[in-house]
Amino acid sequence: MSWLLLRGLGREQRHWYEFPERLRELVAPEPVFLLDLAGMGTERERIPPPSVAWLARDVARRAALLPSSAGRRKHPDAWSLIGLSLGGMVALELCWLWGQRVARAIVINSSSNITSPVARLQPSALRGLGRALIARDPLARESHVLELTSELPMRTRRAHAERAAAWGDQASPTRTAFFSQLCAAARFAPPSAGSLSAELCFLGSRRDRLVNPACSRDLARRYTSPFLEHPWAGHDLALDDPAWICRCVARFSI
């Protein structure tokens, strides 16, 4: 069994911070892989079309090149997926694309067109999102993003912002890539109920100021799957409380 982690809108694999190591401690010796979505991180120069389905096919193509991929193809339950926000949408699409090759998927603070647009991008978040988009200084940009997506204390957010800002321009997506991903997320229609064979679990954050947790509840109802809500975390649940996600993974994987 291998794990694949997929980050969200405008973020790349380094924005998982300590979560992958926490997960590796839990699932060892199962391998944990991280792939960036097109337009971000290692894929920064590749501008994706505004399509979650295309993003999922692109991830599937690159996942086939990961170490021991030949061995994994022999096992129909070779993948467990964890996706946050847009990464969760891609994870759901991969569940349909890969079929029985996905054993389980944990979808965090995601959304789809089955929920109203006002809940999918909360109006109160627009100002903070705009400030992050126009900021040219990396530290200011990361500070605005974390102010919107994290409920950690200000001093802790500042430390994470400084760490991300030190990555430089390499960590900053082009505006074209960002808006293409944004359009892909806005248009996302989840696979039909009954079309997925993977076990699904949906996680939401009660204090998510970017995406209303009702979006995750709606998806959980669509697939008749568990929904667990964190009591205080923000949209970036993997940053705010990685240990809580790991406890959910352990509970869901029994």
pLDDT at 169: 67
Give the predicted TM-score (pTM) of the model: 0.95
Whole-number pLDDT of residue 211: 96
Cβ–Cβ under 8 Å, residues 56 and 94: yes
Look at residue 89 and give its three-state secondary structure.
helix
> Bigger pLDDT: 45 or 223?
223
Please tell me the distance from the alpha carbon of residue 40 to that of residue 56, in angstroms, as a whole number: 14
Amino acid at 15: H
Residue 43 CB neighbours (<10 A): 19
Measured distance CA(16)–CA(18) in Å, rounded: 6
Q: Which of 126, 82, 129 is nearest to 108 (CA)?
A: 82
Q: Where are the beta strands (DSSP E) in the chain?
A: 2-6, 32-35, 79-84, 102-108, 199-205, 227-230
Residue of 121, 231, 243 lying closest to 182 (CA atoms): 121
Please give the pLDDT value at position 162.
95
Distance between CA atoms of 95 and 246, rounded to whole angstroms?
A: 21
Residues 51-75 have a mean pLDDT of 81
Q: Which domains does the chain have, with CATH numbers?
A: 2-120+174-252 (3.40.50.1820)
Contact 217, 119 (CB under 8 A): no
Q: Is 57 helix (H, G, I), strand (E, B) or coil?
A: helix
Amino acid 67: pLDDT: 85
Averaged pLDDT score across all residues of the chain: 93
Kindly indicate the confidence band of residue 68, based on its pLDDT and cuts at 50, 70 and 90. low
Q: Which helix (H) or strand (E) holds 53?
A: helix 52-63
Tell me, what's the pLDDT at 37?
97
Q: Is 250 exposed, middle or buried (0-12, 13-18, 19+ CB in 10 A)?
A: exposed
Residue type, 234: G
Per-residue b or e along 8-26, where b marks 16 or more CB atoms closer than 10 Å to that residue's CB: bbbbbbbbbeebbebbeeb
Is the pLDDT score of 225 beyond 50?
yes
- The mean per-residue pLDDT over the stretch 54-83 comes to 80
**pLDDT for 19:** 98
> Does pLDDT of 21 surpass 80?
yes
pLDDT band at 254 (very low <50, low <70, confident <90, very high): low
Question: What is the band of 71 on the pLDDT scale with cuts at 50, 70, 90?
Answer: very low
- Helix (H) or strand (E) run with residue 151 in it: none
Which pLDDT belongs to residue 76?
A: 47
Whether cis (ω within 30° of 0) applies to the bond prior to 29 is yes
- Is the confidence at residue 178, as pLDDT, over 90? yes
Residues 127-145 have a mean pLDDT of 92
